[in-house]
């Protein structure tokens, strides 16, 4: 198990067999079938280091953070704020004040839409998203547009599942007040050219929010190099606990935004006549935070950061390419999304069989995948599909997992034929 106590843990060589031993759920009990877990785009499994950190917090550090003058509260507060520093390093944020803890990507996008969006949108203005957005980066903008009279515009995707960058550029105008785009598509695995999108938007002084939920577990993310104004991700998709996530925001923008929720800890002083709000990031962290989730997220980030990033990316890309080749060779199988740059996701169909039926057959073979529209109904409509079967990979998956997937899909083809 890697040593995660130091702010910058020692970088280890990538050994997938050793990595798999770090994840208890992947170890088959005697006499049971091994789990082939290929639903990582939905949620990742947790390494023992994260499980141990959560247990250690609840067993020996559990207290509410901030303002407690007793030692246990001070220890919990120190762990909470150390986690913020860990996240800031992970994203290469300029300051820990640019890191806001939220419940996940969904809350992060809603926070920006409800505060920055509502303050800058009006009748005649526009928000630009893409046709591949998850509902959590679509519906919040749809709602704020309805409330303000603004217009939601959508950049198209090509038949291969790639963003039409030229069309996106044409849609940018003097009326555009926000661009919101996925770093990696959860339904197709397409890696979008975020840096190029940011440059196009910033030429017109348009801020950009990036949904990084599907990116942080697969790609190195440097928010300063990307140049984005906001970046959001969820802990449970990067080997951390559920119910915790991060919103990165440029400090000047966060300071200008009003609070999203009101209550304890987001205030500096309260009177019946007037309330003075706290500094960022605390202005956006109303109430008792998910302290255990925060320290668990830090443990997950430290675990991921303990490996050579390039080696991890190479391994994941190898497994994805191999799985793609295996399924491409099967009759009756149609791949959906053939972007040149992909990460983590392989979506497909078996003839006219409903994706749920295919996924059920795969489950009986011990292969866990997801089937449906993947919270991307407009994207499925663009392809004329009710949904797809989605196999999604993480650093602990192997070519053997891809072989098991292909064998199960082959069996499904034979059954439904």
Residues 142 and 237 in one domain: yes
pLDDT above 80 (res 166): yes
Distance of CA 326 to the CA centre of its chain: 27
Residues 329 and 189 in one domain: no
Query: Reduced to 3 states, what is the DSSP secondary structure of residue 47?
Result: coil
Sign of CA dihedral 203, 207, 210, 211: negative
Residue 252 located in a structural domain: yes
Average pLDDT over residues 37-61: 98
- Domain range for residue 81? 57-305
Average pLDDT over residues 308-314: 94
Residues 185 and 289 in one domain: yes
Share of the chain above pLDDT 70, in %: 96
What is the reported pLDDT for 417?
Answer: 76
Strand order from edge to edge, sheet including 345-350: 333-336, 345-350, 388-392, 370-372
Q: Give the integer Cα–Cα distance in Å for 81 and 97.
A: 10
Residues 24 and 64 in one domain: no
Residues 195 and 282 in one domain: yes
Residue 172 located in a structural domain: yes
Residue 3 located in a structural domain: no
What is the reported pLDDT for 158?
Answer: 97
Name the strand (E) or helix (H) holding 413: helix 399-416
**Residue after which a domain boundary falls, among 282, 305, 328:** 305
Residues 323 and 280 in one domain: no
Q: Give the integer Cα–Cα distance in Å for 359 and 405.
A: 11
**335-351 per-position pLDDT tens digit:** 999 999 999 999 999 99
Residues 198 and 315 in one domain: no
Report the domain count for the chain.
2
Residues 294 and 356 in one domain: no
Answer with the residue of higher pLDDT: 323 or 2. Answer: 323
pLDDT above 60 (res 30): no
pTM of the model: 0.95
**378-412 per-position pLDDT tens digit:** 999 999 999 999 999 999 999 999 999 999 999 99
Q: Taking all residues of the chain, what is their mean pLDDT, rounded to a whole number? A: 95
Residues 151 and 300 in one domain: yes
Residues 80 and 227 in one domain: yes
Share of the chain above pLDDT 90, in %: 94
Residues 333 and 258 in one domain: no
CA angle 391, 397, 400 (to 5 degrees): 90
Average pLDDT over residues 285-310: 96
Residue 48 located in a structural domain: no
Q: Give the integer Cα–Cα distance in Å for 287 and 194.
A: 34
What is the reported pLDDT for 368?
Answer: 97
Phi, psi of 162 (to 5 degrees): -100, 150
**Residue after which a domain boundary falls, among 271, 305, 339:** 305
**194-239 per-position pLDDT tens digit:** 999 999 999 999 999 999 999 999 999 999 999 999 999 999 999 9
Residues 108 and 152 in one domain: yes
Which residues form the catalytic set?
375
């Amino acid at each position: 198990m890697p040593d995660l106590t130091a702010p910058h843990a020692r970088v280890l060589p990538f050994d997938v067999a050793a990595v798999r031993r770090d994840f208890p759920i992947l170890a088959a009990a005697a006499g049971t079938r091994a789990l082939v877990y290929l639903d990582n785009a939905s949620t990742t499994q947790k390494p023992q280091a994260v499980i141990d950190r959560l247990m250690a917090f609840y067993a020996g550090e559990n207290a509410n953070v901030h303002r407690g003058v007793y030692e246990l509260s001070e220890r919990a507060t120190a762990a909470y704020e150390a986690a913020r520093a860990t996240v800031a390093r992970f994203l290469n944020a300029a300051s820990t004040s640019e890191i806001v803890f939220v419940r996940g990507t969904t809350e992060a996008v809603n926070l920006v839409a409800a505060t920055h969006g509502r303050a800058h949108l009006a009748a005649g203005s526009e928000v630009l998203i893409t046709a591949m957005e998850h509902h959590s980066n679509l519906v919040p903008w749809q709602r704020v547009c309805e409330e303000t009279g603004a217009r939601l515009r959508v950049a198209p995707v090509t038949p291969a599942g790639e963003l039409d960058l030229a069309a996106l550029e044409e849609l940018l105008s003097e009326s555009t007040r926000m661009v919101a785009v996925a770093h990696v598509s959860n339904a197709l695995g397409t890696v979008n050219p975020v840096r190029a999108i940011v440059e196009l938007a910033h030429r017109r002084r348009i801020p950009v929010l990036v949904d990084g939920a599907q990116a942080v577990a697969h790609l190195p993310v440097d928010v300063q190099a990307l140049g984005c104004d906001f970046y959001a991700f969820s802990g449970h998709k990067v080997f951390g606990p559920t119910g915790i996530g991060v919103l990165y925001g440029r400090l000047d923008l966060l300071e200008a935004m009003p609070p999203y929720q009101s209550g304890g800890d987001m205030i500096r002083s309260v009177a019946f006549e007037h309330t003075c709000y706290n500094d960022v990031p605390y202005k956006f962290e109303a109430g008792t935070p998910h302290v255990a989730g925060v320290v668990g997220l830090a443990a997950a980030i430290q675990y991921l950061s303990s490996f050579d990033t390039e080696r991890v990316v190479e391994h994941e890309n190898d497994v994805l390419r191999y799985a793609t080749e295996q399924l491409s060779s099967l009759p009756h199988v149609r791949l959906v999304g053939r972007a040149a740059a992909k990460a983590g996701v392989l979506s497909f169909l078996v003839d006219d069989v409903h994706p749920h039926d295919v996924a059920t057959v795969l489950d009986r073979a011990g292969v866990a995948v997801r089937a449906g529209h993947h919270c991307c109904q407009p994207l499925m409509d663009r392809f004329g599909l009710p949904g797809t079967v989605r196999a999604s990979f993480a650093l602990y998956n192997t070519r053997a997992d891809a072989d098991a997937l292909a064998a199960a899909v082959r069996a499904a083809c034979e059954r439904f034929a």
